[in-house]
């Protein structure tokens, strides 16, 4: 038996639920292996009621404290249910897990306010008490306290697994909001990472407005959008938003790119004679996601690779448009690199929990703008 086979496993669970509010992604990772290994992954979709409760807190409205407080506990219960189902599937016990890295559900992200803050719910303490497992959470808070954006936190991990000494690599993660990690060839000190703007969020919102009874609630494979025509005037109007031209570090969220933001750009069309069908708007929103990503990729590198990740990578229309807009870049998937796309972000939070336990810094100041690298997170015990 080799020494590696003898060493006891060091299992961590990463728990991620992004701003799409589609559901909970879990990854079970063994850090006793070098390199560490994804052992298993699991997904539990939110039901419609929970998703509506989450999205109703993305923008200011009545009685937010009571609603957020209750949802904080309810989500912890749902996270715990997902963990318990996962442990059952994997025939593991709570004592087998070193810790859970819990990102939580972001309901507000205001890193540039006079009093900057970011708020993730899904109570860490409750999760620890229900599961009987240590929980590391509140990963974004210290970076914000050190003057950073608190986001994105995935670039440090991207750097570890995707760096390439032959070409520039752009890792584009299309979740509700889209973020990029730029790994320039042989220049690890010049790594960049920031939110490019909307990913699937507006596509989901606009689709659900027109198909409220659709059980999956997404424009599957972009089929509805494909029946529409891109309106260049609307696209230009949306692309003129100041966020797209802001220099990095920068991050954004659903409190900014939401349906009212879209409506503010549609005002011009209410009085004009231009006929704009709902599906044309969907097509234009898809073009907005692709164009804003492509503009950034081409600013950062004239050629190289684009690793397309996140739920948006499943949308063939999105993949195809980004390829067309970036003809000198090669679009690949995490799978092409031996990494599972759907558990990638959950894996990062397993790694951040491991990093907490081993006193490893989790943020990159060049990315977030924090004043120094630091160990991220806080630990909660059962
Ligand atoms: N086959 C598909 N066609 C179109 N969109 C898809 C498809 N699969 C996933 N998506 C999009 O991906 C989103 C979920 O992506 P995800 O990476 O989980 O985002 P987040 O990190 O914000 O939760 C869904 O809300 C949906 O918009
Ligand atoms: Mg998700």
Nearest 10 degrees: CA dihedral of 54, 55, 58, 59? -130
Sequence-distant (≥ 6) Cβ neighbours of residue 245 within 8 angstroms:
none
Q: Give the ligand 1 atom nearest the CA of 17.
A: 23
Task: Please tell me the distance between residue 205's alpha carbon and the centre of ligand 1 in angstroms.
Answer: 12
The ligand with the least distance to the CA atom of 173 is 1
Band of the pLDDT at 3, cuts 50, 70, 90? very low
Task: Please tell me the distance between residue 346's alpha carbon and the centre of ligand 2 in angstroms.
Answer: 10
Tell me which residues have their CB closer than 6 angstroms to ligand 1.
18-20, 22, 175-176, 200, 203-204, 218-222, 310-312, 314-315
Residue 75 inside a domain? The answer is yes
What confidence score (pLDDT) does residue 217 get?
92
pTM tops 0.85, yes or no = yes
State pLDDT tens for residues 293-329.
999 999 999 999 999 999 999 999 999 999 999 999 9
Residue 53 inside a domain? The answer is yes
* Cα-based distances in Å from 312 to 44, 132, 201, 352: 18, 34, 10, 24
The ligand with the least distance to the CA atom of 316 is 1
Q: For residue 375, with 0-12 CB atoms within 10 Å meaning exposed, 13-18 middle and 19 or more buried, which class applies?
A: middle
Residue 332 inside a domain? The answer is no
Residue 118 inside a domain? The answer is yes
Task: Please tell me the distance between residue 8's alpha carbon and the centre of ligand 1 in angstroms.
Answer: 36
Please give the tally of structural domains in the chain. Answer: 2
Tokens for 179, please give them: 């973020």
Tokens for 108, please give them: 């507000």
Task: Please tell me the distance between residue 16's alpha carbon and the centre of ligand 2 in angstroms.
Answer: 7
Average of per-residue pLDDT across 175-196: 92
Domain of 144, CATH number, reads 3.30.420.40
State pLDDT tens for residues 210-230.
999 999 999 999 999 999 999
Q: Give the ligand 1 atom nearest the CA of 21.
A: 23
Q: Give the ligand 1 atom nearest the CA of 19.
A: 22
193 and 111 share one domain: no
What confidence score (pLDDT) does residue 274 get?
66
Concatenate the DSSP letters of all residues of 163-198 into one string: --SSS-EEEEEESSEEEEEEE-TT-GGG-EEEEEEE
102 and 199 share one domain: no
Band of the pLDDT at 1, cuts 50, 70, 90? very low
State pLDDT tens for residues 363-372.
999 999 999 9
28 and 97 share one domain: yes
Residue 336 inside a domain? The answer is no
277 and 363 share one domain: no
Q: What is the mean pLDDT of the chain?
A: 95
Segments forming the whole domain that contains residue 98? 3-152+342-380
Task: Please tell me the distance between residue 209's alpha carbon and the centre of ligand 1 in angstroms.
Answer: 17
Among protein residues, the one with the nearest Cα to ligand 1's atom 13 is 311
169 and 311 share one domain: yes
State pLDDT tens for residues 37-77.
999 999 999 999 999 999 999 999 999 999 999 999 999 99
The ligand with the least distance to the CA atom of 18 is 1
What confidence score (pLDDT) does residue 296 get?
98
Bridge partners of 28?
Answer: 13, 40
Give the pairing type, strands 97-110 and 117-121: antiparallel
85 and 222 share one domain: no
What confidence score (pLDDT) does residue 9 get?
76
170 and 142 share one domain: no
What confidence score (pLDDT) does residue 209 get?
96
What confidence score (pLDDT) does residue 272 get?
60
Task: Please tell me the distance between residue 187's alpha carbon and the centre of ligand 2 in angstroms.
Answer: 31
Q: Is pLDDT of 163 > 80?
A: yes
Residue 337 inside a domain? The answer is no
Pocket perturbation via mutation, ligand 1, pick of 311, 316, 322, 333 by most ligand atoms within 8 A of CB: 311
Average of per-residue pLDDT across 159-164: 91
The ligand with the least distance to the CA atom of 20 is 1
Residue 41 inside a domain? The answer is yes
234 and 188 share one domain: yes
Buried b (16+ CB within 10 A) or exposed e, 72-100: bebbbebbbebbeebbeebebeeeebbbb
174 and 145 share one domain: no
Q: Is pLDDT of 6 > 90?
A: no
Residue 334 inside a domain? The answer is no
What confidence score (pLDDT) does residue 259 get?
96
121 and 179 share one domain: no
State pLDDT tens for residues 237-293.
999 999 999 999 999 999 999 999 999 999 988 766 667 999 999 999 999 999 999
Sequence-distant (≥ 6) Cβ neighbours of residue 58 within 8 angstroms:
19, 107, 108, 253, 254, 255, 258
Task: Please tell me the distance between residue 24's alpha carbon and the centre of ligand 1 in angstroms.
Answer: 12
> How far apart (Å, rounded) are the C-alpha atoms in residues 221 and 178?
17
Average of per-residue pLDDT across 88-104: 98
100 and 80 share one domain: yes
202 and 135 share one domain: no
């Amino acid at each position: 038996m080799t020494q590696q086979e003898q060493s006891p496993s060091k299992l961590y669970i990463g728990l991620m639920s992004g701003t799409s509010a589609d559901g909970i992604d879990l990854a079970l990772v063994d850090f006793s292996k070098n390199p560490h290994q994804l052992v298993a992954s699991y997904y539990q979709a939110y039901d419609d009621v929970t998703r509506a409760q989450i999205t109703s807190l993305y923008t200011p409205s009545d009685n937010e404290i009571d609603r957020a407080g209750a949802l904080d506990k309810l989500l912890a219960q749902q996270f715990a249910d997902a963990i318990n189902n996962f442990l059952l599937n994997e025939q593991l016990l709570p004592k087998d897990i070193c810790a859970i890295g819990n990102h939580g559900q972001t309901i507000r992200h205001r890193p540039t306010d006079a009093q900057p803050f970011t708020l993730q719910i899904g109570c860490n303490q409750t999760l620890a008490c229900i599961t009987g497992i240590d929980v590391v959470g509140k990963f974004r808070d210290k970076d914000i306290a050190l003057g950073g954006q608190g986001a994105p936190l995935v670039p440090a991990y991207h750097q570890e697994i995707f760096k390439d000494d032959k070409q520039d690599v752009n890792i584009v993660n299309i979740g509700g909001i889209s973020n990029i990690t730029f790994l320039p060839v042989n220049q690890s000190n010049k790594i960049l990472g920031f939110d490019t703007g909307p990913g699937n969020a507006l596509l989901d919102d606009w689709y659900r407005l027109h198909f409220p009874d659709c059980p999956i609630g997404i424009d599957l494979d972009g089929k509805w959008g494909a029946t529409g025509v891109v309106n260049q005037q609307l696209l230009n109007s949306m692309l003129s938003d100041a966020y797209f031209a802001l220099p990095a570090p920068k991050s954004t969220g659903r409190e900014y790119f939401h349906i009212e933001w879209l409506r503010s750009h549609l005002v011009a069309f209410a009085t004009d004679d231009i006929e704009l069908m709902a599906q044309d708007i969907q097509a234009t929103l898809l073009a907005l996601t692709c164009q804003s990503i492509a503009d950034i990729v081409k600013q950062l590198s004239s050629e190289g690779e684009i690793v397309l990740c996140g739920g948006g990578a499943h949308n063939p229309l999105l993949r195809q448009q980004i390829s067309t807009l970036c003809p000198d870049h090669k679009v690949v998937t995490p799978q092409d690199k031996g990494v599972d796309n759907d558990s990638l972000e959950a894996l990062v939070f397993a790694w951040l929990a491991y990093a907490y336990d081993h006193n490893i810094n989790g943020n990159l100041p060049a990315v977030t703008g924090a004043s120094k690298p630091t160990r991220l997170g806080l630990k909660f015990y059962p």
